[in-house]
Every structure is written in structure tokens, then in C-alpha cells.
Amino acid sequence: MSEEQKKLLEQQLWNIANTLRGKMDADEFRDYILGFIFYKYLSEKMFIFANNELKEDALIYNQIDENSKEGKEYLEAVKEASIESLGYFLKPSELFSEVAKKGNSEIKDENQNNFILEELGKILKNIEQSTMGTASEDDFDNLFEDLDLTSTKLGRTEKDKNSLIAKVLAHLDKISFNLDDPKSDVLGDAYEYLIGQFASGAGKKAGEFYTPQQVSTVLAKLVTVGKTRLKSVYDPTCGSGSLLLRVKREVEDVSNFYGQELNRTTYNLARMNMILHGVHYQKFDIKQEDTLEHPQHINERFEAIVANPPFSAHWSASPLFMSDDRFSQYGSLAPKTKADFAFVQHMIHQLADNGQMAIVLPHGVLFRASSEGRIRQYLIEERNYLDAVIGLPANIFYGTSIPTCILVFKKCREHNEDVLFIDASQGFEKVGNQNVLRPENIERIVETYKARTTQEKYSYLASLQEIKDNDYNLNIPRYVDTFEEQESIDLEAVARELASLDDEIKITDSNIAEFCKQLNISTPF
């Protein structure tokens, strides 16, 4: 897709968003728009699949008579194949384009109506129910539960609600997502664009479901260095799944995707996002639960792990966790009010011996003492898992301006005598109220990580002894000297310049006094 086409698509999508804007908050109309986009995707995917199945019979799916005996036989055959291949089923009358057409049709006689709300609700429920008892059931369970078609925010009367929803469907129906082109990911890109736009407008809530794309790119590139294929990738706080999908872009193939998310709405977004980006339902396993308290993939080990967990989140820090294999060996738990290292410990436990992980955290994890200091020391001194510490610019995350860092861990490190420190805090572009990593900033971070080189005022290879001498304090300025020496000032020259200015002032004052005398007015001094 060209840049011009991309901008046109983004404009069309934002016009649709404006249809709902003013009636509800950004995070509320997000659920409607993204939900309808997903419904449109499932419909078009179903239509393409069914037509391929019916090609030998020279039939078009939406032209089948659903009520005839022959039509029912065709639908039953298509349904069986669709459930196996796509994981769900839609009848011709349930396709997005058919519903959009009905909702925006002109009423020509009293036997016609364009009321679609009830029908639409049933269709969305039918999609979920079509998967019951099949391998895809968990991936579609309650997927549309946030699409409340009865909400008064859509309109005061049923007619008002119907009119608004029909208008949104009509706008979406005009957009072609080119699903029959295997090289095209228009719909996935549209979905990502809208998630990002809603995140920027949702303020503090955005951190619950979205990591800025440039940060996701850095994390994805770091965990795929030297690899073209991955057996598995895992995100314990996966949000909308964008980080997992970013890793997919960096390699030729990922066999399986795993994630866990606490927020129900965001969990639904993640499952939709995976399917929209062409990840088959059998290749991803996203669970909804609290990762620290109730881990859902505890017996799995992953080749790549990425995460942007909630900064300094609260957790139970229950003494019972001291017997949990994830935490027991450290002798300390992360504080109740700062779960940052609890996520690190969890991820280390899930990491395969040949794997690598990258996690975004607040700077406090680098130097805070007490239990966090002991955990840091254990990871470096006893395990030697820490591979790199990367400082990011402030104000690159939605909802917070605090500076952040990336910690990279590997269980089998090729360079086990040192730790790489990178200070990338000054490499960014100001875009509106946010700081943004440019492609060249991302490339420098990744290339420096690969080369493990010391660059003046940017990176430094610290020996394990140096880190020990610093009491395992990882604060980046201790290792990367970014001090800019100010140019020396010649005080004698400054004094001479001030004296010269003083003489000029005296001459100017004298001239003004003479002019005032000639004009017969008082001097201003």
C-alpha cells in the first residue's frame, strides 16, 4: 500500500470515528469501531473461503437460497469446511455487506424495514456459537461482548440507535480491505492505526492496551537478533497483542503465539488483533487472568519473550510466593507497590535456555535498593542473565512522561563477561506532545546492541566487576558519560565588553539629553 493510499484509508477510518465522537468516550467508541471492523473481516474472509469451496459448482455464496433444500445442503458442507479451516461460520444473510445494505436501504412499502439492531446482535452471537465444541471455541468465546447495541449512548430511541449503527456500517462497507491479496495487510494496518489513535486519545488508560509502535519495534528486533524463525513468542501482559505481532514482522515465521491479559476488553482486542493479522486460531493461545497471581502458561518455555507491563503496579507479594518456582531462588519478592521485578522474575522463569527477552520498565528498577537490589544482584552475580540496559527518551508512552528503560536478558549469553549499557534518551523527534523514536534512532539502538561497541556519550561495555563495584546499581549515567563540558568563558573579555557597553550608554544618554534640551522637554533620566 502506497503512502497516499495509507493516508486515504486513515482519513476514511477517522471519519467513521467522528460519527461516534461526542456520543461517548474514545475508549468506548473504540469498542464499536474495532468490533465492526472485525465483523467485516470475518465476513469477507468467510465470503472468499465459501466462494473457493463452491467454485466447482459455479456458485456465488451470497446468491445461495438459504431456505431451499439444495441451498441448505450447500451451506452445511461449507459450514463444516469453514469451521475446520477458519474456526467459525457465517450464513450468506449474516455477511457484513448484506446487513449494511439492509440497514441503509430505502423503505419502499410498509412490508419493508431497515431495522438491523436485533438481527445484528443475533449474528454476532451466532459467530461465537458456531465455534462451540470446536478447537476454536476459546478463541471466539464472548469476543463481541463489548459491542453493546442496546446502549443509550448510541441514541435515545431504538430508531436513533439503528440509524447511527447503520451509518457506521455503511462507511465501513465502502472501504476495500483487499483480503484476496495475500501480500496485503490493509485491514491489519487499519486496526493497528485505530488502536494507536485511540491510545493517544485515551490518556492514562492507554497503557493498559497499547505500546507505541516504535518501542514495539525495538523490543521485537532485540529478541530476534540472529534468528529467522521462532518456535514461540510470549507476552505476559499482552494488551491488544501488538507487541506479539511486531515480533512476527521481524522473522520469517513464528510457530506459536502466547499471551496473557488481565483486562477483559483488552483481552478481546488481542484475540481480534491476532485473527485480523492472519494468525490462525490454532497458532495462538491468549488467556485472560492476572499473570503474577494466576499464570496460565506456567509449564511452557518460550524462545522469545517481550513485555511492557504496567509500571510499578501493585500486587499481593504474598509470602506464599516464596515457595513458587518463579520467585523462590531469589530469596526476595518485589515490593507490594512495585511489581516490576516480579514481572522480570516471571519472565525469566518462562524463558527457554536458548531464548532472549526484552522488557520495558521505569528507571527505578536500575537503582532501587532493598529487595529489588537483592533481585538485581542475584540475576547478575549468580545467574549472569542480564545482557543489556537501554535508556529510552522520556515522554514516549501515552499517559506518562517518565523516562523508561529496556532490560535484555538471555540465559545462555555469548558475551558473559560484560553488560552493554546504551543511553538512547536523546535520540527522538518531538511530535505534538509526544517524543517519538525515529527509524534512525531505532537502527542505532539495535546495531549498537548487535555490535556491543562502546561509543562516546552513547554506549559502554561494563565488566561484571565494575557493576559489582557499583553495588549492582545499574543507573545508566554511572556507565555512560553524557556530561557535556561547557565552553570556558574569558572573564577579562567579558569585563572589557561591559566597560565598552557602559561607554556607549553614556554617549547615547548625552545625545538624548541634548535632543530633549532642544525640544524644551524634560530628559527621561
pLDDT tier, 202 (very low <50, low <70, confident <90, very high otherwise) = low
- Residue 307, φ and ψ in degrees, nearest 5: -165, 145
Residue type, position 481, single letter: D
- Listed in sequence order, the DSSP H helices in 111-236 are 117-129, 137-140, 158-173, 186-202, 213-223
For position 111, what pLDDT does the model report?
Answer: 55
User: Which H helix or E strand runs over 404?
Assistant: strand 404-410
CATH 1.20.1260.30 domain residues, the chain: 3-184
CATH 3.40.50.150 domain residues, the chain: 210-416
Closest among 276, 34, 33, 30 to 168, alpha carbons compared: 33
For position 204, what pLDDT does the model report?
Answer: 44
pLDDT reading at 482 higher than 90: no
Interval 141-165 mean pLDDT: 90
pLDDT reading at 205 higher than 50: no
pLDDT reading at 450 higher than 60: yes
pLDDT tier, 334 (very low <50, low <70, confident <90, very high otherwise) = very high
Closest among 367, 484, 151 to 376, alpha carbons compared: 367
Interval 286-294 mean pLDDT: 97
- What confidence tens digit (pLDDT) does each residue in 303-331 have? 999 999 999 999 999 999 999 999 999 99
Sign of CA dihedral 70, 75, 76, 78: positive
pLDDT tier, 188 (very low <50, low <70, confident <90, very high otherwise) = low
pLDDT tier, 207 (very low <50, low <70, confident <90, very high otherwise) = very low
Question: Using an 8 Å Cβ cutoff, are 72 and 66 in contact?
Answer: yes
For position 213, what pLDDT does the model report?
Answer: 85
Question: Using an 8 Å Cβ cutoff, are 244 and 220 in contact?
Answer: no
User: Which H helix or E strand runs over 106?
Assistant: none
pLDDT reading at 507 higher than 90: no
For position 523, what pLDDT does the model report?
Answer: 80
Please determine, looking at this structure, whether the domain spanning 3-184 carries the CATH number 3.40.30.10. Answer: no
For position 153, what pLDDT does the model report?
Answer: 86
Closest among 118, 141, 147, 117 to 129, alpha carbons compared: 141
For 210-416, which CATH class?
alpha beta
Share of the chain above pLDDT 90, in %: 66
What is the distance between the alpha carbons of residues 400 and 313, in angstroms, rounded to a whole number? 14
Q: How far is CA 325 from the centre of its chain?
A: 29
For position 216, what pLDDT does the model report?
Answer: 93
- What confidence tens digit (pLDDT) does each residue in 162-180 have? 999 999 899 888 887 777 6
pLDDT tier, 26 (very low <50, low <70, confident <90, very high otherwise) = low
Q: Is 414 exposed, middle or buried (0-12, 13-18, 19+ CB in 10 A)?
A: exposed
pLDDT reading at 90 higher than 50: yes
pLDDT reading at 29 higher than 80: no
Interval 111-121 mean pLDDT: 84
Interval 248-264 mean pLDDT: 96
Q: Mean of the per-residue pLDDT values for the chain?
A: 89
Listed as own residue / partner, the contacts of 193-201 with beta carbons closer than 8 Å and 24 or more positions apart are 193/9, 193/10, 193/13, 194/13, 194/17, 194/30, 194/33, 194/34, 194/37, 195/30, 195/34, 195/240, 195/242, 195/269, 195/273, 197/14, 197/17, 198/26, 198/27, 198/30, 199/398, 200/398, 200/434, 201/26
pLDDT reading at 206 higher than 50: no
